[in-house]
């Protein structure tokens, strides 16, 4: 069972990243043979970014993944740009990707609204590079958030079309989406996903926030004018907090509703804030220890890239052969 997933190095990681993706990475580390996790710095260049801070963001992200439980000796953890086969396969997969399919990508449409000054071609072809990331390693499973389901379906279609056109090379990957916590929403705009770029500081809980700051943000979370701790129409803010608390405590959302029956929002928010602070505390502390030694994180990424190439290079040899590239 091969497992692959990638994560963007776009600044500090937040609660949505941790619940929706990182916890799944750690679980996959126990099942994957191997489990492969990539910090996708090439994807980060598809929108406006600061080249001076990107290398540090990569180390921040790697350190956070390791603090959460990823062990570079038990999984493959590497930086995308260190394995050149990703870029080459992206170009070759473009030969079996329909222009119309990329036009229909919801995330592209959303990001275009934010990239007014320059909409890059790389933003348009982002899903092809994502498919290359996955297919290069012939991954069986890809742990992702709900918002990435459309991209995974495109990756499956690209694999099918390539295999039908040139010959059987790629595996059609299956998305693994958490049943609870697949989509954590912004605390101040609960109709929108918590994100590094789209959310406000008040709407995001960072993994390395201090406990008091976490509690304050949760207590100020946007809710409705009611008082019942239940999910329902016009209760997006409370529904989001119920989901977060359910994950933090390892229970079903229905149990959360029963636990807080008859209690008001104030008591509930306090308990949610405390639970989140407790959930993230060991990760925050371990992250501080790891980030103090950037050379060790860099060494782990280089080791991971070497192991990733051991899989990527033979795959590209197969691709070259069936596509008629290079000498006979």
H helices present in the chain, as ranges? 15-17, 23-31, 41-44, 54-68, 85-93, 99-103, 106-114, 121-124, 126-135, 149-166, 211-219, 236-249, 253-259, 265-291, 294-323
CATH assignment of 201-288?
A: 1.10.240.10
Q: How many percent of the chain have pLDDT more than 90?
A: 75
Over residues 123-130, the mean pLDDT reads 94
Does this chain's domain 3-176+293-323 share its CATH topology with 201-288? no
Give the per-residue pLDDT at 109: 67
Position 55 confidence tier, pLDDT thresholds 50, 70, 90: very high
pLDDT at 6 exceeding the cut of 80: yes
Over residues 40-67, the mean pLDDT reads 95
pLDDT at 235 exceeding the cut of 70: yes
Read off the DSSP letter of residue 192. S
Give the per-residue pLDDT at 118: 81
Residue at token pair 């750690």: 26
Position 20 confidence tier, pLDDT thresholds 50, 70, 90: confident
* Mean pLDDT over the full length of the chain: 92
Q: Residues 129, 120, 301, CA angle at the centre, nearest 5°?
A: 45
Closest CA to 11 of 296, 143, 201: 201
Is residue 150 within 8 Å of 105, Cβ to Cβ?
Answer: yes
pLDDT at 10 exceeding the cut of 70: yes
How many other C-beta atoms lie within 10 A of the C-beta of residue 240? 23
Helix (H, G, I), strand (E, B) or coil at 161: helix
C-alpha to C-alpha distances, 231 to 90, 247, 262, 285, nearest whole angstrom: 42, 15, 14, 33
What region does 76 belong to: left with phi over 0, alpha with psi -120 to 50, or beta?
A: beta
Over residues 138-144, the mean pLDDT reads 92
C-alpha span between 304 and 75 (Å, rounded): 8
Tell me: the pLDDT tens digits for 271-320? 999 999 999 999 999 999 999 999 999 999 999 999 999 999 999 999 99
pLDDT at 112 exceeding the cut of 70: no
b/e sequence 25-64, b meaning 16+ C-beta within 10 Å: bbbbbeebebbbbbbbbbbbebbeeeeeeeeebbbbbbbb
Give the per-residue pLDDT at 164: 98
Position 96 confidence tier, pLDDT thresholds 50, 70, 90: very high
Give the per-residue pLDDT at 195: 84
Helix (H, G, I), strand (E, B) or coil at 204: coil
pLDDT at 157 exceeding the cut of 90: yes
User: Among 19-33, 128-142, 241-255, which stretch is predicted with the lowest mean pLDDT?
Assistant: 19-33
Q: Residues 34, 40, 43, CA angle at the centre, nearest 5°?
A: 145
Q: How many percent of the chain have pLDDT more than 70?
A: 97
Kindly list the domain boundaries of the chain, sorted by start residue.
3-176+293-323, 201-288
CATH assignment of 3-176+293-323?
A: 3.40.50.620
Phi/psi for 3 (5° steps) reads -120, 135
pTM of the model: 0.90
Q: Which residues contact 7 (CB under 8 A, 6 or more apart)?
A: 17, 21, 22, 37, 38, 39, 40, 61, 65
Is residue 247 within 8 Å of 180, Cβ to Cβ?
Answer: yes
């Amino acid at each position: 069972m091969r497992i692959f997933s990638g994560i963007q190095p776009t600044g500090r990681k937040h609660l949505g990243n941790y619940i929706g993706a990182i916890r799944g990475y750690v679980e996959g580390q126990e099942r994957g043979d191997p489990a492969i996790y990539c910090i996708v710095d090439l994807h980060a260049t598809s929108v406006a970014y600061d080249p001076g801070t990107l290398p540090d963001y990569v180390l921040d992200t790697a350190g956070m993944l390791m603090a959460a439980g990823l062990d570079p000796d038990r999984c493959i953890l590497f930086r995308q740009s260190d394995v050149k086969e990703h870029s080459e396969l992206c170009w070759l997969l473009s030969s079996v990707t329909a222009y119309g399919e990329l036009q229909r990508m919801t995330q592209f449409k959303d990001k275009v609204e934010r990239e007014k000054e320059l909409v890059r071609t790389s933003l348009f072809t982002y899903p092809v590079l994502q498919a290359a990331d996955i297919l290069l390693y012939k991954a069986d499973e890809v742990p992702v958030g709900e918002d990435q389901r459309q991209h995974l379906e495109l990756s499956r279609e690209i694999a099918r079309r390539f295999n039908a056109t040139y010959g059987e090379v790629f595996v059609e990957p299956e998305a693994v989406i958490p049943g609870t916590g697949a989509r954590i929403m912004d605390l101040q705009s609960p109709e929108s996903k918590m994100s590094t770029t789209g959310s406000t500081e008040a709407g995001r809980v960072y993994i390395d926030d201090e406990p008091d700051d976490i509690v304050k943000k949760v207590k100020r979370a946007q809710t409705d004018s009611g008082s019942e701790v239940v999910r329902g129409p016009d209760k997006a803010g409370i529904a989001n907090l119920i989901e977060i608390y359910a994950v933090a405590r390892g229970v079903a959302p229905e149990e959360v509703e029963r636990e807080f029956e008859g209690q008001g929002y104030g008591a509930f928010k306090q308990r949610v804030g405390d639970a989140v602070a407790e959930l993230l505390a060991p990760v925050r502390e371990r992250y501080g220890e790891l980030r103090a030694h950037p050379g060790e994180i860099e060494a782990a990424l280089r080791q991971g890239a070497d192991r990733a190439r051991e899989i990527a290079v033979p795959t590209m040899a197969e691709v070259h052969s069936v596509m008629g590239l290079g000498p006979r």
